[in-house]
Structure 1
Amino acid sequence: MSDRLNQLAANLERVLGTRAQSIEIALGEVTVVIEADSYLEAALMLRDDPALGFEQLIDLCGVDYQDFRDGAWSGQRFAVVTHLLSIAHNWRLRVRVFAADDSYPVLASLTPVWASANWFEREAFDLYGILFDGHEDLRRLLTDYGFIGHPFRKDFPITGNVEMRYDPELKRVVYQPVTIEAREITPRIVREEQYGGPV
């Protein structure tokens, strides 16, 4: 199995060249980190080069690296991780790309390369606020259209910003500020002599 992974890593290095920041084999998987400015070009190479032949995008997700490794992370905050499958060669690949600007994360859309990226990119936009340049219908997928913020960002408040409820007087759904009080809940442990025994 390691010979196949080494072959894949060698093919990636030959085809991608300087577009790949790093190629790593760990835990039986190959991960390649791509430069953000050559993300779309590299994706086309991964799909079209016969030595690689990644015909399918099987997953794409956003990642927030804020406070990663207990704050020791010094790289970019937002990344997109893509999992590709080559049916012809029977191998998989993980592709990671970091957005250059933490305050306004933008990456190229992969929908022209793999149509299956459509909803995955919408999800990453909705939950992390990562924008995909060239996506034809980038709008929220899982949260409400009036939702404020991006709930999978690590700085998003646990209680949220607003809450939604049905108002019987107005006979419609209304938004209002969060009414949950911020508090810390510490579980209590019962340690009584007779606990669970005969009364």
Structure 2
Amino acid sequence: MTKKLNSLQAALETVLGERIRHFKRDRGEITITVSAADYFDVAKALHDDPSLKFEQLVDLCGMDMFTYKDQPWDGPRFVTVLHLLSVSLNWRLRVKVFAPDDDLPVVASVNPIWNSANWYERESFDMYGIIYEGHEDLRRILTDYGFIGHPMRKDFPVSGHVEMRYDAETRRVVYQPVTIEPREITPRVIREDKYGGLH
């Protein structure tokens, strides 16, 4: 495993050079962090360069680093993480890219490189509000089209903003402010002598 990781590390450093902002090798895995400005070109090189050949995007997800590990976070808030696989060379890589603007998080879409990124980027947009520039069909995929906000952001209210219900009088679905009252749930304690057939 060490020999393979050494080969991958050498290939990454040769092909990407200074575009690797942070390099981490831990638990038999390599993670690189690249800037949003270099992200698309790096992804293209990872896919196309014959010494890397990352043909497959296994996963892509968004993350909100706000209070990361319950600690204050000093840096960009939103990050996109890719997990790549080279089938032909049998190695894996994790790539991170931080959106430079927390108020309007934008990074390039890698859907033109790996078409499996399509729904992953839509999910990340829906849940975190990360905009993937160049995605041809960036719209919500899990929440309703009228949904307000991005529910996986750490500052999103636990009860949400609005709820949807069917109104029998108007015979249609309506939206209304959330009506759930916060309450304390106390576990029910049963003190019967013969509960559950126990004697």
Q: How many residues align?
A: 197
The superposition leaves residues 100-150 of structure 1 with CA deviations (integer Å, 9 ceiling, x where unpaired) of 001110000001111111111011000100001111110001110000000
In 1: Cα distance, 2:184 partner to 2:150 partner: 23
Letter aligned with residue 31 of structure 2: T
Q: CA deviation at 1:81?
A: 0.3
Runs of 4+ in 1 over 3 A off after TM superposition: 187-198
Q: Map 1:141-152 onto structure 2 (within 5 A).
A: 141-152=141-152
Q: 1:50 to 1:191 in 2, by over 3 A?
A: same
In 2: Cα distance, 1:49 partner to 1:132 partner: 23
Unaligned runs of 5+ in 1: none
What residue number does 1:77 align with?
77
In 2: Cα distance, 1:58 partner to 1:182 partner: 40
TM superposition score normalised by structure 2: 0.93
Unaligned runs of 5+ in 2: none
In 2: Cα distance, 1:115 partner to 1:152 partner: 24
Q: CA deviation at 1:70?
A: 1.9
The CA RMSD over aligned residues, in Å, is 1.7
What residue number does 1:32 align with?
32
Deviates more, 1:23-32 or 1:147-156: 23-32
What residue number does 2:49 align with?
49
Letter aligned with residue 16 of structure 1: L
Deviates more, 1:17-26 or 1:31-40: 17-26
In 2: Cα distance, 1:85 partner to 1:32 partner: 14
What residue number does 2:94 align with?
94
Q: Map 1:107-126 onto structure 2 (within 5 A).
A: 107-126=107-126
Q: Secondary structure at the match of 2:69?
A: coil
- Overall identity of the aligned pairs, in %: 58
> Would the aligned equivalents of 2:66 and 2:72 in 1 still touch at CA under 8 Å?
no
> Would the aligned equivalents of 1:106 and 1:132 in 2 still touch at CA under 8 Å?
yes
> Would the aligned equivalents of 1:160 and 1:178 in 2 still touch at CA under 8 Å?
yes
> Would the aligned equivalents of 1:9 and 1:23 in 2 still touch at CA under 8 Å?
no
In 1: Cα distance, 2:169 partner to 2:188 partner: 44
Deviates more, 1:147-156 or 1:5-14: 5-14
In 1: Cα distance, 2:193 partner to 2:72 partner: 48
Q: Secondary structure at the match of 1:17?
A: helix
